[in-house]
Structure formats: C-alpha cells, structure tokens
C-alpha cells in the first residue's frame, strides 16, 4: 500500500500524561493532512494477574474494561478539542498494545505513541512499547517525548542509505507543513567524541574524506530541496558521534527524524542503536522511519 492510500493516523493511549500529549500531536498531524484519527487502547490483563486462581477474573475484566473506556473517552475529547473537524474513531481490544499498533501500521500514514506512561492503565502501553513499535512498524512512528520547541527546526539524520532517503522525505514534508527550517545532520563516523581528540587518530583519516562527506550530504538533499523550495535547509557535517550530535540538536528542535536502520559512512549513522537512543533520551519528539518493504 502506498503512502497516498494510507488515510489514517493511529495513536495508542494508556491514560498517562505522555499518551495525552501523543493524542494532541496525532490530532494535529491528522488535521493538517486531512486524515482520519484512530485512537486505540489495549486491554492487557497479564499485569493484573488475570487468570490467577486468587483473582476475581470477571471483576478484573469489568474494572479494566471500564477504565479503558474512560481513557478512550478522555482521549476522544482531547483530540476533538485540538481539531473538531477530524474523523475520530476509538477502539479497545484484549492483548498486547505494541503488537496491535504494529498490525495497524500496515494501513496507517503514521503511528503515534508516548515515550512512557504512568496513568491508570499505564501497563497497557508501557515498558518497551515505543522501541517495539519503532522496530517493527510498517510506517513512520512518532514517539512523543520531551518538549517540541515550536520555534525550532526539524532535524534529520542523514547517512546516504535508502532508509535515510525515506527519513529525508518525511523530514521535508514535516518542515513544509510546519513552516519550519530543516537541519540535515551527517556524522560520518560512529566513533565517540573523544576519539578524534588524539592527533594520531585524525592523521589516520584519509585525505579528502571529509570533503566527500559534504558532497554525500549535498547529493542526498538535492532533489528534495527542489521539491520543497519553501523549506530553508542548513547542512551540518560532523566527524563523529551521531547519537550525541542528534541528542544535542533535540534540545532545540521541534522534531528529530531518523531512520530505524542505515548503512552509510563508516558504521552507519541511522542504525537501530541510534534511533533507540533517541527514543529513550531525546529532548523532543522523535520520528522513526522504517525501511521500504517493512
């Protein structure tokens, strides 16, 4: 299914402040794109001891179901307050929230999740949900965390890989829709920031390599700058530390966009460990873009 055929944004909720922020951001995303909004809540009974001989199973089901309906009703109200014109659908189900979100991602334009939760039913979407969904989803996943600095840029990690190309596409679209500048970050070594403090390490870098990395970044952006002439682009090339560079940029960005895997430069800027690090520690929302065919 092509991106144009996907007509919904899906958001998972658990009643926590994090998921409430996710609902607001998902509603804004759906509204500006003219998409439907699907709000889901997973009724995961395992954390409550459902099935144990010492637990009133029927009572547990009624309690968790009632709580889930309250969470969905509140989320619907939050989304309506953001944009009363969007088509909103709510649904709950028994089972794993992360698995359900991954299944729904096959037909969605984007999936939105909070980075953590602490609400009345937080166990439904807590733990490794954000990592699980960003690792396996079939569409871009927006992980809502930190603060979206409204006057800040959209920041995208670039490494020259096919997944990086998809991340660039998403980043340009976000920058255009938000009327925001775009910062393209390319760090061509995955080594730590202290490695190149040693002059002997610097001397080992092949002559002309850094110039070639500037060319790689320029070529990666060229077609997209022509397609989105309204987006102001700043290029940043670093010798090392992709995670640290992107985390630092997240302190002032509206959004950081990365691929879930990549293979460019030396070891690859956009490998899973980098996107996972951002999902767990970024200071602003993070959009993780999946490879084609996944």
Residue 267 has pLDDT above 50, yes or no: no
H or E, element range at 259: strand 255-259
Residue 24 contacts residue 37 (beta carbons within 8 Å): no
Q: What is the DSSP secondary-structure string of 162-186?
A: HHHHHHHHHHHHHHHHHT--EEEEE
| CB-count exposure of residue 229 (10 Å: 0-12, 13-18, 19+) | exposed
Q: Which of 128, 12, 129 is CA-nearest to residue 72? A: 12
Which CA distances in Å does 210 have to 124, 130, 194?
47, 35, 18
The pairing of strands 255-259 and 286-289 is parallel
Neighbouring residues of 208: CB distance < 8 A, sequence distance ≥ 6: none
Residue range 216-250, pLDDT digits in tens: 899 999 999 999 999 999 999 988 778 899 999 99
- Contact present, 160 and 216 (Cβ < 8 Å): yes
In which band, very low, low, confident or very high, does the pLDDT at 213 lie, cut at 50, 70 and 90? confident
Q: Residue 82 — very low, low, confident or very high, per pLDDT cuts 50/70/90?
A: very high
Handedness of CA 112, 276, 117, 175 (dihedral sign): negative
pLDDT tens, position by position, 143-153: 999 888 989 99
Q: What is the dihedral of CA 20, 23, 25, 29, to 10 degrees?
A: 180
- Mean residue pLDDT across the chain: 82
Band (pLDDT 50/70/90 cuts) for residue 50 is very low
Domains and CATH numbers, the chain: 3-144 (3.40.50.620), 154-289 (3.40.50.12370)
Q: And the tokens for 127? A: 């733990």
- The residue among 245, 247, 29, 258 whose CA lies nearest residue 166 is 258
157-191 pLDDT tens trace: 998 888 889 999 999 999 999 999 999 999 876 55
Q: Worst-scoring range by mean pLDDT, 75-79, 100-104, 126-130, 274-278?
A: 126-130
pLDDT given for residue 233 in this prediction: 96
């Amino acid at each position: 299914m092509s991106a144009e055929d996907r007509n919904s944004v899906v958001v998972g909720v658990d009643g926590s402040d994090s998921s409430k922020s996710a609902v607001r951001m998902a509603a804004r995303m759906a509204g500006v794109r003219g998409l439907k909004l699907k709000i889901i809540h997973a009724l995961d009974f395992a954390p409550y001891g459902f099935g144990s001989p010492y637990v009133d199973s029927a009572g547990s089901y009624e309690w968790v179901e009632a709580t889930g309906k309250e969470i969905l009703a509140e989320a619907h109200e939050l989304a309506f307050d953001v944009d009363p014109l969007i088509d909103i659908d709510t649904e709950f189900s028994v089972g794993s929230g992360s698995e359900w979100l991954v299944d729904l991602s096959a037909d969605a334009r984007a999936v939105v999740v909070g980075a953590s939760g602490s609400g009345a039913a937080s166990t439904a979407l807590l733990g490794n949900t954000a990592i699980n969904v960003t690792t396996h989803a079939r569409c871009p996943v927006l992980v809502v965390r930190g603060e979206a600095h409204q006057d800040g840029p959209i920041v995208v990690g670039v490494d020259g890989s096919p997944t990086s190309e998809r991340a660039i596409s998403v980043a340009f679209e976000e920058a255009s829709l938000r009327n925001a500048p775009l910062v393209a970050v390319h760090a061509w070594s995955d080594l730590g920031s202290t490695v190149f403090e040693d002059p002997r390490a610097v001397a080992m870098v092949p002559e002309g390599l850094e110039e070639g990395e500037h060319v790689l970044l320029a070529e990666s952006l060229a077609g997209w700058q022509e397609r989105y002439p309204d987006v102001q682009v700043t290029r940043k090339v670093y010798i090392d530390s992709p995670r640290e560079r992107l985390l630092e940029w997240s302190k002032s960005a509206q959004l950081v966009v990365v691929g879930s895997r990549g293979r460019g430069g030396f070891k690859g800027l956009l490998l899973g460990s980098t996107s996972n690090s951002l999902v767990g520690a970024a200071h602003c929302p993070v959009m993780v873009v999946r490879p084609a065919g996944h």
